[in-house]
């Protein structure tokens, strides 16, 4: 009986703290919005405001604000990482990959950035977008006519060359 009362009291206290935290986060968002308006060229403020927007599930606004933060301070990994994660969450893998690659250029030895890049590259639903991006990087825009019909991934370059030779008679382009 006494233990049940303590559990209920603890649950009520936790709920009260959650409500207060929600109210504080909302107040913080309003203050950051004001600061972002007053200091549109301050990358750190734009970054914090973008994160707050993201945490409030206002992703389109968060994206715009985080892009602005990266434009203001392109060598600051925090905003670049936030955009990589935002695009990854939205399944915009080609864009996420761009930002993950930027992170590695900034800090090539950082294992967190290396893992993020691998995660994006290895995500099954992102493969077609990554392939399209790779083709477009070769100045071959993906159109319906150029759309890949099959993708064969092999572990080594040598095996890839052998597979390419086998498929060559069946296609006009093999990469």
pLDDT tens, position by position, 37-94: 999 999 999 999 999 999 899 999 999 999 999 999 999 999 999 999 999 999 898 8
Of these ranges, 3-17, 24-38, 109-123, 127-141, the one predicted with the greatest mean pLDDT is 24-38
Over 80: is that where the pLDDT of 127 sits?
A: no
Q: Which residues contact 78 (CB under 8 A, 6 or more apart)?
A: 47
- Residue 135: CB atoms within 10 A of its CB come to 17
């Amino acid at each position: 009986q006494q233990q049940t009362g303590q559990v209920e009291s603890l649950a009520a206290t936790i709920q009260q703290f959650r409500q207060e935290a929600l109210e504080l986060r909302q107040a913080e968002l309003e203050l950051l919005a004001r600061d972002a308006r007053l200091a549109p060229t301050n990358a750190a403020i734009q970054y914090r405001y973008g994160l707050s927007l993201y945490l409030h599930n206002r992703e389109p606004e968060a994206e715009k604000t985080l892009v602005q933060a990266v434009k203001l301070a392109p060598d600051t990994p925090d905003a670049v990482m936030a955009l990589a994660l935002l695009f990854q969450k939205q399944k915009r893998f080609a864009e996420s990959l761009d930002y993950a690659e930027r992170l590695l250029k900034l800090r090539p030895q950082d294992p967190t950035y290396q893992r993020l890049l691998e995660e994006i590259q290895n995500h099954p639903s992102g493969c077609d977008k990554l392939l399209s991006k790779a083709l477009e990087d070769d100045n071959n825009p993906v159109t319906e006519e150029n759309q890949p019909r099959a993708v064969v991934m092999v572990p080594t370059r040598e095996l890839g060359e052998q597979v390419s030779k086998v498929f060559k008679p069946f296609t006009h382009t093999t990469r």
